[in-house]
Amino acid sequence: MWLKPEEVLLKNALKLWVQERSNQYFVLQRRRGYGEEGGGGLAGLLVGTLDAVLDSTSKVAPFRILHQTPDSQVYWSIACGSSREEITEHWDWLEHNVMKTLSVFDSNEDITSFVQGKIRGLIAEEGKGSFVKEEDPEKFREGLMKFEKCFGLPEQEKLVTYYSCSYWKGRVPCQGWLYLSTNFLSFYSFLLGAEIKLIISWDEISKLEKTSNVILTESIHVCSRGEDHYFSMFLHISETFLLMEQLANYAVRRLFDKETFENDLVLRDPLQITKRGLESRAHSEQFSAFFRLPKEETLKEVHECFLWVPFSHYNTHGKMCISENYICFASQDGSLCSVIIPLREVTGVDKADPAYRGVSISTKGKTAFRFTEVRDFEQLVAKLRMKCNATSSPQHIINTEVAASSASDSPKDFDAGPSKLDQKDNSKTVSTEALMTVYHPQDAENLDSKMLKEKMKEQSWNILFVERGHGVSMFRTKKTRDLVVRGIPEALRGELWLLFSGAVNDMASNPGYYTELVEKSLGTCTLATDEIERDLRRSLPEHPAFQSDTGISALRRVLTAYAYRNPQIGYCQAMNILTSVLLLYAKEEEAFWLLVAVCERMLPDYFNRRIIGALVDQAVFEELIRVHLPQLTDHMTDMTFFSSVSLSWFLTLFISVLPIESAVNVVDCFFYDGIKAILQLGLAVLEYNMEKLLTCKDDAEAVTVLNRFFDSVTNKDSPLPPAVQQGSNLSDTKSDHPKVDITDLIRESNERYGDIRYEDVESMRCRNRLYVIQTLEATTKQNVLRVVSQEVKFSPSDLEELYELFKKEHFLSCYWNVNSPVLQHHDASLPYLDQYRIDCQQFRVLCHLLSPWSHCANRDSLALWTFRLMDESSDGLINFKQFACVLDTMYNGSFTDKLKLLFKLHIPPAFTEVESLSPSKGGDLSKEELIHFSQLSVSSVGDSLESDYLKSSPEKVGKGKVDIQAYLKQWQDELLKKEENIKDLPRMNQSQFIQFSKTLYNLFHGDPEEELLYRAIAVVTSLLLKMEEVGRRLQSPTSPVKSPVAVAEVPDEIPRKEQEERSSEPTEGSRAQSLRGNHEWSFAFEQILASLLNEPAFVRFFEKPHDIKVKIESAKNLQLKARISV
């Protein structure tokens, strides 16, 4: 079949392919080992064996055709075939239809371009009409059956797709199948009797990248829990890698980063994920991010075509991308031309130049866009007309007015737009002017040299607007970027920020939204509003606008409205600094939508609690430093210096480190180029100070160098008055440092690092996101282990393994349950210990795997009571510290500690009567029964005190104000809490003691000293009852004694031999009946402890050491199977 032309490096692949035919422009190769007698030697035997197990749909094809040009070392793969007949047919077609044509071209570049275009055309013809088809259902069903058979995962685990590939075990490739499902990356191979089965959960992956090694040109490297795995020999490695990257990031967001995931309705349900859906989503995300469109926009169609550029008088080649509400175009010929046409702006769609398959789109700005060479242009015209008719419905009329005013009218008309929308008089609450126009109005009569330059800038932009359009649908070209680099004029800054960021589209689609939000949010009192009030006076305090109530009130309204709109983010420090600058140049409502664009699209995840987005971009920045400034990385022993020093650069867009008059130029570039502009400027700053940084001996000295540099940055063309300019205030004190003009610095950053592509930045973001999340998780683990290690006697390695099992169990409950209570309670902003918790069902699984008492017949009841004992907050969840402490008692506790634990398990609040609804299950409880019993409330001594404590706990207050005093008191009480005294334990009544005795019998079952232990417990119970009988006689000497004195509590589970030995003793039934005739028996813990200490068999049993390492290794192998069987 024909392949999309891809560059091939033959340097490392010559050993795998044999040349069969060649001519001046094409090479036909056969995979070594295919069709050769004897296998073609060792290499051929290896390759032939690998390919022999593949089917025709996903294997590395045995034949391929490459395109080459004379005197060139670059080859392009253009076709592959599973048989000699198929590849020969392609070869013959090339010789008869292409070879003769190539001789007319003068240059090799033209030949290659023609061949690539021809092959793409053939692919398009073959794929015509197949875009909407799903994968072959029969083939996929066959793969699904293999997947289920090989790995035995639950039915809910959805297989997304599968590929044939090789897994490198050392230096030996093992051919098999790679299965990609919603929660796991799985590989299976069975060759020559050797089976390889690999299951890696996506949430464990810390590195996922495409790499090259010595044997193969490309492979996929997966790093999980410190282990490296390499997969290669894919038919389409780029497609496979993109899908793996999406699934890994989806799992990370779902399990670790819940606050950004909850609003994502598309991926909330793992059962809805499909390969085609993920591919479509990836394209839509790339589309909306590139053109700065609302996240809701979905890419519907893509057409390769030409766009007529009237001011340059030529057609530029590119792609037309169509979504529900926008038509966008981006050139692909290096001209950097792009256009965004909202359908609300379109007034007409017509056919133009049928011979050239043309489409003409007219807009309200009296601009006509002409696209030519559009495939199926007649159908496209009909579709666009229908879309435009739907968009011009009454509910969109207001939107159109706003967009028209913002797109084509003068700035004054633009300012009047939102005020027309407001039906109420909101002049008292919402400011309708940018603060800069209020505090620094331009004097048109007295123009100094700086103001003249400013007017010349404005004139340059006005000329651009005349040539390229004014508003949303303007042509954006290299000339536009050049003007942005020089600095946007003060009068146009707010309008162009709104335009380039895409905020104009949000505002046009939501008329009156901000005013409504202000009315709802004002007066609310939350943690976010408290933080906002604290930071209001710290926002550009040197600027007159924020020394008065006008600026402060506007800032308060914008920040409070956004916190109300997006409670997941609420308010984060640095938002106040950024919003202050936005309010200087944009009206209040515009500043709000600019903040929305920054927080939710341009800087995703920057302003959540863990600032994950900023950390990811810092990792990208470090990667770029390694590539572009290697001498600096060689000098710096610790790369974390760059992360610590650059955090404020990313969070505030350099506003916090540069003088305000210079910082706004950086914001100009950011709104046009996105995060790429900040990365480029950061590299330029480091390069400018390279020599000084290389001489620094420590981080403090390097920070001083950078701070002095930022203080020396000026904006010589800024028209702001000297009183406002921060750079001018420092000119006298630091005149010894050379001045650096911000325009020159930005221009230099574009010239030196402008080749950094947007696509590369996004790819690095995806790659580093996994690393950043796993680094944060490692920090959480270290902090938890540090706290818990002080409470238990486990070795550090065993404790770490237990933490991994605990966390894995937490995730296993989230994999297939969308509404998992554990997932709903997971919050990365909580203290480290409470970030991961498990419920009773998960605890039961871990108990069965790890507890030394898991052989007990009533192990489900024991697990239930143990969970109830640890669940002090009665919320149905326990943390790792509670889990590790109870396990530590079972393994490392003294005889008294273990007995005390068993005693407490059989008294309230832990103990509750348990009886399975299914007698056939014996002591086993179903999941529903377990959850039911775990939630039962049992009254016990001190319950009222506990309830009062929970009511007063600061954690129960909710999302309102946090009572710091309550926290301090709680902390003080915990410090003063004494070790629990055994005398404080309540007494155990008759039914509880009977169950306690049964548990002991169950624990002793199977022990080498089983008979001895049974006799010992009979002696102890008889002794305890005698003591209780004597006590009763002393208290009431006249009362008759109806029950026998020598009584032992013997449950039904006692072996027959033991029952025969004590056949002379009264039965349990008669004894129980006798006891019911009198008041209930009860025993204190001291009585039980003293009695058991007299029996050496008891002491030996409970002091017998148990090796938890064996249990841990077994649990790691059985944990997933245990979850499946639940």
A 10 A CB-CB count for 482 gives: 13
Beta bridge pairs of residue 714: 741
Mean pLDDT of the chain: 79
Q: Say if residues 1108 and 794 touch (Cβ distance below 8 Å).
A: yes
**Residues in a beta bridge with 372:** 306
Report CA-CA distances (Å) from 683 to 454, 676, 795.
Answer: 29, 11, 45
Question: Can you tell me the distance from the alpha carbon of 344 to that of 353, in angstroms, rounded to the nearest whole number?
Answer: 25
Structure-block tokens of residue 204: 């464990």
118's tokens: 């021809």
Distance from C-alpha of 570 to C-alpha of 532, rounded to nearest angstrom: 10
Residue 661 amino acid letter = E
Inter-residue contact 5 to 67 (CB < 8 Å): yes
CB under 8 Å to 755, separation ≥6 — which residues?
none
Exposed/middle/buried for 457, CB within 10 Å: 0-12, 13-18, 19+? buried
Pairing mode, if any, of strands 368-372 and 878-879? unpaired
> How many whole angstroms separate alpha carbon 12 and alpha carbon 541?
62
- Residues 313-341, buried b or exposed e (16+ Cβ, 10 A)? eebbebebbbbebbbbbbbeeebebbbbb
Residue 139: how many other CB atoms lie within 10 Å = 13
- Rounded Cα gap, residues 568 and 626, in angstroms: 35
Interatomic CA distance for residues 191 and 198, integer angstroms: 15
Q: Report the distance separating Cα 270 and Cα 406, nearest Å.
A: 41
Number of H helices, E strands in the chain: 47, 25
Q: What is the DSSP string of 287-308?
A: HHHHTT--TT----EEEEEEEE
List pLDDT tens digits, range 549-569: 889 999 999 999 999 998 888
Using CA atoms of 114, 116, 121, 126 in order, give the dihedral in degrees to the nearest 10: 140
pLDDT at 133: 38
Tokens of 837: 């918790």
Q: Which helix (H) or strand (E) holds 30?
A: strand 26-31
Instruction: Report H helices in 446-512.
Output: 449-468, 478-486, 490-501, 503-509
Question: What gap in Å lies between CA 530 and CA 570, rounded to an integer?
Answer: 11
Are 451 and 442 in contact by the 8 Å Cβ rule? The answer is yes
Cα distances (Å, whole numbers) of residue 503 to 395, 550, 586: 20, 24, 12
- Please say whether the beta carbons of 903 and 988 come within 8 A: yes
Pairing of strands 740-741, 713-714: parallel
Question: According to the model, what pLDDT value does residue 58 have?
Answer: 40
End-to-end CA, the chain: 47
With tokens 């913002």, the residue in question is: 406
Q: What is the pLDDT of residues 1101-1123, one digit of tens each?
A: 999 999 899 999 999 888 887 66
Strand pairing category for 326-331 and 338-342: antiparallel
Residue 411 CA: distances (Å) to CA of 365, 459, 469, 485, 838: 15, 14, 14, 22, 58
Query: For residues 588 and 557, is the Cβ–Cβ distance under 8 A?
Result: yes
Amino acid sitting at position 11: K
Helices (H), 636-674: 640-652, 660-673
Buried b (16+ CB within 10 A) or exposed e, 408-437: bbeeeebbebbeebbeeebeeebbeebbbb
**CA distance linking residue 990 with residue 999, whole number of Å:** 14
Sheet with 194-201, side-by-side order of all strands: 194-201, 184-191, 172-181, 159-169, 227-232, 219-224, 205-211
Q: In whole angstroms, what is the distance from residue 1021 CA to residue 198 CA?
A: 53
Looking up tokens 């981080």 gives: 699
Residues in the chain, pLDDT under 70: 9-15, 33-60, 124-138, 192-193, 213-217, 257-269, 334-335, 390-429, 440-447, 722-737, 817-829, 914-982, 1035-1080, 1122-1126
The residue type found at 562 is Y
CA distance 300 to 975: 62
Alpha carbons 928 and 916: distance in angstroms, whole number: 11
Q: What is the predicted pLDDT for the residue at 685?
A: 95
Beta-carbon contacts of 1028 under 8 Å, excluding residues fewer than 6 positions away, are: 1081, 1082, 1083
Structure tokens that stand for 589 in this block? 């409502």
Structure tokens at 46: 């290896």
Q: What angle do CA 538, 544, 549 make, to 5 degrees?
A: 70
Give Rg (Cα) of the chain.
37
pLDDT at 255: 76
CA distance 802 to 883: 9
C-beta pairs of 783-792 under 8 Å, 24+ apart in sequence: 783/832, 784/832, 784/833, 784/880, 784/881, 787/832, 787/833, 787/881, 788/833, 788/880, 788/881, 788/884, 788/885, 791/881, 791/884, 791/885, 791/888, 792/884, 792/885, 792/887, 792/888, 792/892
Cis peptide before 173 (omega within 30 of 0): no
At residue 212, the 3 state secondary structure works out as coil
Contact indicator for 488, 469 with CB cutoff of 8 Å: no
d(CA 658, CA 1049): 81
Structure tokens at 739: 């001045």
Q: For residue 408, what pLDDT is reported?
A: 38
Mind spelling out the 3-state secondary structure of 871-883? CCCCCCCEEHHHH
